[in-house]
Structure 1
Amino acid sequence: MPEDAFDILGLEPGFDLDPARIERAFLTRAAQTHPDLVGDDDRAAALAARLTDARRQLDNLETRANLLLARLDGPGKDQDKSLPSGFLVEIMDLRERVESALASGDPDARRRELDAALAQRQDYHHRIRDLFILATPNRGGDAPLLRQIRTQLNAWRYIERLIEQLDSEYPADNPERGRLGPDSEQG
């Protein structure tokens, strides 16, 4: 298996990683890549870039879930595009409400739809966390469970797109993207 962000930062693979733990692992590894220790500025810069990318991947819950699913030999998003039963009708309705809120220019309507999307994101986070709790001890041996995780992750991606559309302060390179937000618990 190729080295992934968990390996690069020396973290035990898991879905519910404390952001402070990710940051500590990053800082510990970053201290080991200082040019004075590595002896080569180019090599130190390349190592620092790998560490920064690994931290960014693990800071994002959706990306972390995809990494963990790949590590458990679950299907990738290119292999399995399935969605939960009834999800397409639900997302079409939600998208219609979002487009209406955006077209109206009403900040309260936009905020209501954003809050609804954030609540759905949190629901998917909890569902996926619970599924990973079941899957992790098996180390990937349960193909139907891994497909179920993929299905939930595919739906989560739709919700993330809605949030990106609704929240103008939600840039794709923001490390907070994919987190539940400052007022929500990750666990």
Structure 2
Amino acid sequence: MENFFEFFDLPVRIELDEKELKRKFLKKSREYHPDMVGSDDAAALEKAERMSAFTNEVYKTLSNKQERISYILLLNGLVGAPGQNQMSPEFLMEVMELNEAIMELQFEENEAAKKVVLDRIQQFKSEIEQDAQSHFTAFDAGDHSQPVLEGIRDYFLKHRYLLRMEENFNKTL
């Protein structure tokens, strides 16, 4: 299938105009809606159903910033391959400390300590977002160099890790 950004005739960017994305989605949805095809043409109906599903998949991916970043990294071959998803020892150490704090909270009812841990996770997420902003800006300005893409990948992996930690925190406590 075709590149998701090309399918909606949008630039490959991290920050997208959400209204423009929605407009392109609605246009493609009308174009490929199965009701627009005569029911007597089975091949055309099957194609319309396939394209309608693809249109929905493209919109779902591009309308979510994290999924959009993941897709951009996939387009550039920077996620999925062995050895590409490694994080710095410093980050892993901080995450390990946070995980230990979460485990300790499971055995004690300390609302203040819970708030401290949750605030630290939020602060950590905010810090990695700030660190990545220069990479996002450079990418959107057309710099698709390896260092920029690696900075985006680093953000993506850290954010995903912290999101899972936050979900675990909310489930466990």
- For normalisation by structure 2, the TM-score amounts to 0.75
Distance of 1:23 and 1:110 partners within structure 2: 39
Report how far residue 110 of structure 1 moved. 4.7
2:6 maps to a residue whose letter is D
Q: Which amino acid aligns with 1:147?
A: E
Instruction: Report the structure, 1 or 2, having the larger helix content.
Output: 2
Q: Which structure would you say has the larger RCO, counting Cα contacts within 8 Å and 6 or more residues apart? A: 1
Residue pair 2:34, 2:52 contacting (<8 A) in 1 also = no
Match of 1:124 in 2: 128
Q: Quick one: which amino acid aligns to residue 151 of structure 2? A: Q
Q: 1:29 maps to which residue?
A: 28
> How far apart are 1:153 and its partner, in Å?
1.9
Q: CA RMSD in A?
A: 2.8
1:88 matched to 2:92? The reply is yes
Q: What is the CA–CA distance in structure 2 between the aligned matches of 1:18 and 1:101, rounded to whole Å? A: 41
Q: State the distance in 1 between where 2:58 and 2:22 align.
A: 11
SS in 2 for 1:15: coil
Q: Indicate if the aligned counterparts of 1:128 and 1:153 stay in contact, CA closer than 8 A.
A: no
Q: Which amino acid aligns with 1:64?
A: R
Scaled by the length of structure 1, what TM-score is found? Answer: 0.70
Q: Deviations over 1:141-176 (max 9, x none)?
A: x223322322222212211211222345xxxxxxxx
Deviations 1:52-77 (A, max 9, x none): 11122123222211222344x35224
CA distance in 1, matches of 2:60, 2:112: 32
Change (3 A) 1:124 1:21: farther
Q: Distance in 2 between matches of 1:106 and 1:59?
A: 38
1:76 and 2:75 are equivalent in the alignment: no
Residue 34 of structure 2 aligns to which amino acid in structure 1? P
| Counterpart Cα distance in 1 of 2:2 and 2:21 | 17
Aligned to 2:157: 154
- Note the residue ranges of structure 2 that are not aligned, 5 or more in a row: 39-43
Report the CA distance shift for 1:16/1:126 in structure 2 as closer, same or farther (over 3 A): farther
